[in-house]
Amino acid sequence: MIVDLYWDRDENAITQTDIKYGAFCRGLAKNILSLMEDAEECVNDTYHKAWMSMPSERPAKLKAWLGRVVRNTALDQWRKNHAQRRYGGMDVMLSELEDCLPDPKTVEQEMEAAELGENISRWLRTLSREDRALFVLRYWKGESVSDLAKKWRTTPSKLSQKMYRLRQSLKSELEKEGVYL
Amino acid sequence: MSESVIRLYDGITNIDEDIIEEAEGYVPNVINVNWKRWGALAASLVIIGAGAFGLFRSGLLKPAAGEEVYSTDSTAGQGEDNAPAAMPAEVPAEEPAYEWAEEPAEAPAEDTMEMPVEEKDAVSEETAPVNPILHVDFDPGTGYQAVCYRDIAERYDPLFDEHDPEFIRLDANDITEDDLGEEMGRVTEGECAGCRVYRIGALPEVDAYILDYGGWYGFIMSE
């Protein structure tokens, strides 16, 4: 297992990670940051963080764990470079996610990301498998609406309507749960 | 971009790994949609085939030609071409033309048969009633007897000269379409079901008729 290589401090761990998950990490980073060079930098940072995080951490599912690191790294990179450049993918995605925010008047309580993640996970489990996959592929993996529409053999506008309903559903769920951001 | 959205992004980053794995491996159900289309097409074809078979079995759908024993058209004068398979190819000249009447198993007596005839307006537009008294003369269940022309002549005109060329011929084999009078209807039951019944053209007022037995003719008269 690749995780064992990290735990054994075997430098081959990063090579094996890149062989097995490199495309996934680059794709995810590219979806979020839009620019390939930034995505490549993001992936390299992710491998570095993985090397530094293990053996203290032992992820049960390395792919999902790497994806989480990529997203965090991409966010950091976005923050760092946002003043100079505009990342289309990230901006559009975050703009859409604003639909999920409860009304500003009621935003009083901050929630830890992990707890919020659990909340969202619970909500996701109430959805159909298809809707759940759509939401995750769009807002976790950052795939574009047009790409998803091709996969689902539908039009981007129809898919956008579906995504809008999903965001409204999440918003309702978060408000119902008393989650304020 | 507000910090609230960033927090939400962070929250999504932390969704359960099994959900992420499931979404990663999810294949949209587009293949099944194709299967549904083909499946619906195949089911339609099966239904159409079964329907056609059912219609054929029920008799509503018939072969294009060759199966009708009793043609709905007058076949007088066409001779053997349209004669039913059970009919003899040729009837001896001296035998009475009502040979067919001896066949029915349930015939109450020799040369006697039940000849219920349906009203013509119940058949089709083609056989729309031409005579309003049809139901009087041919009530279903009324018994009719196959007879020769001599029997008819003797009943209605004892002085009738059988050799008078003005009148219809004695031998039913000689009956032609010209001898047919007003069409009365068709036999609805029994061996002669479907056969057309006509008044005798030369004797339209008598209670005796010509039966068109698929191109062969016979005389019948009420018992």
- B115 and B22, same structural domain? no
H or E segment at A35?
none
- B207 and B106, same structural domain? yes
Alpha-carbon span B122 to B103, nearest angstrom: 27
Residues of chain B contacting residue A72, judged by C-beta atoms under 8 Å apart: 10, 13
Residue B204 scores a pLDDT above 60: yes
Q: Which CATH architecture has domain A2-86?
A: Orthogonal Bundle (1.10)
pLDDT tens-place string over residues A93-134? 777 787 777 654 444 444 578 888 999 999 999 999 999 999
Structure-token pair, residue B205: 């007022």
Model pTM score:
0.48
- B187 and B109, same structural domain? yes
Q: Is residue B71 situated within a structural domain?
A: no
Higher pLDDT, B106 or A10: A10
Long-range contacts of A173-176 (CB under 8 A, 24+ apart): A173/A119, A173/A123, A173/A126, A174/A100, A174/A102, A174/A119, A174/A123, A175/A102, A175/A106
Amino acid at A179: V
Residue B223 scores a pLDDT above 80: no
Task: Search chain A and give the residue with CA nearest B14.
Answer: A117
- B158 and B84, same structural domain? yes
Is there a contact between B13 and A72 if contact means CB atoms under 8 Å apart? yes
Is there a contact between A72 and B28 if contact means CB atoms under 8 Å apart? no
Q: How many domains does chain B have?
A: 2
- B164 and B98, same structural domain? yes
- CB contacts < 8 A, A to B, total 117
Q: Is residue B137 situated within a structural domain?
A: yes
Q: Is residue B162 situated within a structural domain?
A: yes
- B51 and B155, same structural domain? no
- B45 and B88, same structural domain? no
Distance from CA of B64 to the nearest CA of A (A): 48
- B191 and B89, same structural domain? yes
Which of B9, B14, B22 is the closest to A114 by Cβ? B14
Q: Is residue B73 situated within a structural domain?
A: no
Which of B12, B24, B26 is the closest to A129 by Cβ? B26
Distance from CA of A37 to the nearest CA of B (A): 22
Higher pLDDT, B199 or B156: B199
Q: H/E/C letters for each residue in chain B?
A: CCHHHHHHHHHHHCCCHHHHHHHHCCCCCHHHHHHHHHHHHHHHHHHHHHHHHHHHHHCCCCCCCCCCCCCCCCCCCCHHHHCCCCCCCCCCCCCCCCHHHHCCCCCCCCCEEECCEECHHHCCHHHCCCCCCHHHHCCCCCEEEEECHHHHHHHHCCCCCCCCCCCCCCCHHHCCHHHEEEEEEEECCCCCCCCEEEEECCECCCCEEEEEECCEEEEEEEC
Using a CB–CB cutoff of 8 Å, tell me whether A124 touches chain B: yes
Q: Across residues A63-84, what is the average pLDDT?
A: 83
Using a CB–CB cutoff of 8 Å, tell me whether A72 touches chain B: yes
pLDDT score at B216: 78
Higher pLDDT, B132 or B214: B214
Which of B4, B8, B16 is the closest to A121 by Cβ? B16
Q: Which CATH architecture has domain A95-176?
A: Orthogonal Bundle (1.10)
Q: Where do the domains of chain A lie?
A: 2-86, 95-176
Is there a contact between A67 and B11 if contact means CB atoms under 8 Å apart? no
ipTM: 0.81
Which residue range(s) make up the domain with B131?
79-222
pLDDT score at A29: 92
Cα Rg, chain A, nearest whole Å: 18
pLDDT score at B107: 41
Q: Is residue B22 situated within a structural domain?
A: yes
Q: Is residue B16 situated within a structural domain?
A: yes
Residues 6 or more apart whose Cβ sits within 8 Å of residue A125: A132, B19
- B209 and B102, same structural domain? yes
Which of B5, B7, B20 is the closest to A140 by Cβ? B20
Best probe of the B interface among A3, A62, A65, A68, by most B CBs < 10 A, is A68
- B203 and B140, same structural domain? yes
pLDDT score at B159: 67
Q: Is residue B134 situated within a structural domain?
A: yes
pLDDT score at B55: 81
- B151 and B43, same structural domain? no
Which of A55, A56, A69, A54 has its CA nearest to residue A24?
Answer: A69
Alpha-carbon span B100 to A121, nearest angstrom: 89
Residue B144 CA, chain-centre distance (Å), reads 22
Is there a contact between A121 and B24 if contact means CB atoms under 8 Å apart? no
- Which of A132-136, B152-156, B184-188, B200-204 reaches the highest mean pLDDT? A132-136
Q: Percentage of residues in chain A with pLDDT exceeding 90?
A: 41
A55 upstream amide cis, omega within 30 of 0? yes
Q: Is A166 exposed, middle or buried (0-12, 13-18, 19+ CB in 10 A)?
A: buried
Q: Is A140 helix (H, G, I), strand (E, B) or coil?
A: coil
Is there a contact between B4 and A101 if contact means CB atoms under 8 Å apart? yes
- B49 and B97, same structural domain? no
Distance from CA of A162 to the nearest CA of B (A): 15
pLDDT score at A135: 94
Q: Which residue has the tokens 């950052």?
A: A142
Q: In A, residues 37-56, which contact B (CB 8 Å cutoff)? A: none
